[in-house]
Amino acid sequence: MKDFKNFKHIKVKENNFVLEITLNRPEKKNAIDSLMLDELMKCTKYANKNNLIRAVVYRSTGNIFCAGLDLYDFKENNNTTPLSEIFNQLHKPKLAVVEGDAYGGGVLLILCCNYVISKSNVQLCLPEVDRGLFPFQVLDALIKVMPAKKALDWCLRGSSLSALECVEMNVIDKINDIDIEENVSDWIKTILEKSPNAIINGLKSFQNIYVDKKIIGKLNDELHKLKKTDDFIEGIKSLREKRKPRWK
């Protein structure tokens, strides 16, 4: 795909039946803005149409895996595409290689993957409630892998969880500090040995059973309603001024 070379916020490499997508906006902690959303969606559509793509691997540059949505961009843009749709619509096995902390929408990306390999010093955080927002789509994804009460508690507290805690919560599958690439290779090898047609149909069926587009759309609408509130305005202002928010 020629567009790959023109991408500005992600790097894409296709090799040996694997599409490797690297978030490449380290100066912004790999925060997802409108342009990155568009580039990620193009990758999803490309992978779905290309029978030579058997697996997709998500990585990142810099020391932060993903800081979630770029809130400054989110405040100004009118993009209403739910972030989770980009990954849920991808009917190829997805692996996240997490070597840095993830926040908000970055946690959602991880949750949408079929397997997650992480370094032990990684932390996952849901800070939306500190910005006048709520991680609606993250909550929807969390309750598919962990008890709803624990998922809601995490979203309400906006706290950070260690990689080990995330393993216990079923969010991260494997921790490796010595040779993470060995685990990546083993996962890819296992996937490539299986029937691609069976896997695609299995992923589509899973989506039909467990992913409700109407619910995701409604949750995304609720998120966009919050960006019009005084709390979000204060949340963005406090973030810019590097201070704690003063809620009214």
Q: pTM for the complete prediction?
A: 0.96
Which CA distances in Å does 199 have to 26, 39, 96, 187, 205? 33, 25, 18, 14, 10
Kindly report, residue by residue over 164-204, the tens digit of the pLDDT.
999 999 999 999 999 999 999 999 999 999 999 999 999 99
- Give the pLDDT score at 4: 85
Cα torsion 207, 213, 218, 224: sign = positive
Q: How far apart are CA 113 and CA 194, in angstroms?
A: 18
Cβ atoms within 10 Å of 68's Cβ, excluding its own: 28
What residue ranges define each of the domains in the chain, with the CATH number in brackets?
2-178+192-241 (3.90.226.10)
pLDDT band at 227, cuts 50/70/90? very high
pLDDT of residue 80: 82
